[in-house]
Amino acid sequence: MIVDKLQQLGQHSIAKIQGMGRATLMLFGALIAWPTPRKSFPLLLKQLYVVGVLSLLIILVSGLFIGMVLALQGYTVLSKFGAEQMLGPLVALSLLRELGPVVTALLFAGRAGSALTAEIGLMKATEQLSGMEMMAVDPLRRIIAPRFWAGVISMPLLALIFTAVGILGGHLVGVDWLGVDGGGYWSAMQANVDFQQDILNGVIKSVVFALIVTWIALHKGFDAVPTSEGISQATTQTVVTSSLAVLGFDFILTAVMFGG
């Protein structure tokens, strides 16, 4: 009985490690080649549109609401201590350090990550990837690489847009609705937000999340069992695994950046 359980655990661990190995090989194969600007640039541009621009709406709306909620909640607590003028830094720091990168990554995993997995999984199921290989075109370079770079470039930008819109949302609720002083909102923010400590660290976080989410999404699609059930499972796994990975890595990065 115990031996069986141990055996299962061992098999499961080996399968996981093999999966990680395949994911690493896939990424290595996609990124090893020197890109040819004539072919690679139009492909990258198209993916930046699909992965980045099409995610803009969900990022803008979510950013706005999260900024508004932050201001509302923050005001309730701060006003008890007569510290309403610190609303600006509260909203900005929460968004720059945590919510911007993390929520953007979670939304990105749901919106763009799942779409990437389903697209590549379906290309595999309909033999498009094999067909490409037989036409002497490497699918890792033609399909995976531009999508990977598009994710890595667009997510930090989306996180910055999310944060900016969130700060505006905070202003909308805090200043325009609840009556906090507008000048104080901005000046306290300017005085308390440090470029390297807060903005740069937030950008670093979102670059790390972009690498993780895009990599997981592409690998799950590329490794999917080429059936309708396999693709649906792979899509779910992309959202679940990348969301958990983002939250886990967020803790590690926060501990390293702000812990001491």
Partner 1 sequence: MSDILVDIQHLTFKRGDRVIYDDMSMQFQRGKVTAIMGPSGIGKTTLLRLIGGQLKPEQGKILVDGQNIPQLSRKDLYKARQKMGMLFQSGAMFSEMSVYDNVAFPIREHTRLPEDIIRLMVLMKLEAVGLRGARDLMPAELSGGMARRAALARAIALDPQFIMYDEPFAGQDPISMGVIVRLIRSLNNALGLTSVVVSHDVNEVMSIADYVYVVAERKVIGQGTPDELRAHPSALVQQFLQGQSDGPVPFHFKAANYSTELMELAK
Which residues in this chain contact partner 1 in the complex, by CB under 8 A? 39, 122-123, 126-128, 130-138, 142
**Smallest separation (angstroms) from partner 1 to the CB of 143:** 10
| Closest CB to partner 1 among residues 19, 183 | 19
**Smallest separation (angstroms) from partner 1 to the CB of 130:** 7
| Closest CB to partner 1 among residues 43, 91 | 43
**Smallest separation (angstroms) from partner 1 to the CB of 129:** 9
**Smallest separation (angstroms) from partner 1 to the CB of 132:** 8
| Closest CB to partner 1 among residues 90, 143 | 143
| Closest CB to partner 1 among residues 49, 258 | 49
| Closest CB to partner 1 among residues 25, 61 | 25
**Smallest separation (angstroms) from partner 1 to the CB of 122:** 8
3-state per-residue secondary structure call for the chain: CHHHHHHHHHHHHHHHHHHHHHHHHHHHHHHCCCCCHHHHHHHHHHHHHHHHHHHHHHHHHHHHHHHHHHHHHHHHHHHHCCCHHHHHHHHHHHHHHHHHHHHHHHHHHHHHHHHHHHHHHHHHHCCHHHHHHHCCCCHHHHHHHHHHHHHHHHHHHHHHHHHHHHHHHHHHHHHHHCCCCHHHHHHHHHHHCCHHHHHHHHHHHHHHHHHHHHHHHHHHHHCCCCCHHHHHHHHHHHHHHHHHHHHHHHHHHHHHHHCC
